[in-house]
Amino acid sequence: MKAATIARYGSPGVIEVRDVPAPVPGPGEVLVRVHATTVNRTDCGELLHPTLIRLLTGGGRSRRKILGLDFAGTIEAVGGSASRFKPGDRVFGMCPFRNDGAQAEYFCMAETGPIAQMPSNLRFDQAVVCEGAFYANPIIEHFALRPGHTILIYGASGAIGTAALQLAKDRGAEVVAVVAGRHRELMRSLGADRVVDYTTDEFDQLGRSFDFVLDAVGKLGIRRWRRWLKPGGVFAATDRGPWSQNLLFILWSKVTGSGRVVVPLAKRGSGQAFVNELRDRIEAGRFIPVIDRRYPLTAIADAYRYVQSGEKAGVVVIDVATEDRAAEPG
For residue 61, the model assigns a pLDDT of 47
| SS3 of the chain: helix, strand, coil, percent, to 5 | 35, 25, 40
For residue 323, the model assigns a pLDDT of 56
Rounded distance between C-alpha atoms, residue 166 and residue 259, angstroms: 24
Count CA atoms closer than 13 A to 248's CA, side-chain side.
7
For residue 46, the model assigns a pLDDT of 85
Contact 65, 59 (CB under 8 A): no
What pairs with residue 195 in β-bridges? 177
Rounded distance between C-alpha atoms, residue 116 and residue 112, angstroms: 9
Degrees to nearest 5, angle at CA 133 with 109 and 61:
45
Rounded distance between C-alpha atoms, residue 53 and residue 78, angstroms: 30
For residue 326, the model assigns a pLDDT of 42
Per CATH, the homologous superfamily of domain 132-262 is NAD(P)-binding Rossmann-like Domain (3.40.50.720)
Count CA atoms closer than 13 A to 280's CA, side-chain side.
6
**What does the DSSP assignment read for 223-247?**
HHHHHHEEEEEEEEESS--GGGHHH
For residue 216, the model assigns a pLDDT of 94
Contact 70, 129 (CB under 8 A): yes
For residue 11, the model assigns a pLDDT of 83
Q: Nearest-CA neighbor of 97 among 86, 116, 78, 110? A: 110
Contact 162, 190 (CB under 8 A): yes
Q: CATH 3.90.180.10 residue ranges in the chain?
A: 2-129+289-327
Contact 176, 196 (CB under 8 A): yes
CATH class of 2-129+289-327: alpha beta
Q: Which residues of the chain have pLDDT under 70?
A: 50-63, 240-258, 322-330
Q: CATH 3.40.50.720 residue ranges in the chain?
A: 132-262
The DSSP H or E segment spanning 132 is: helix 130-143
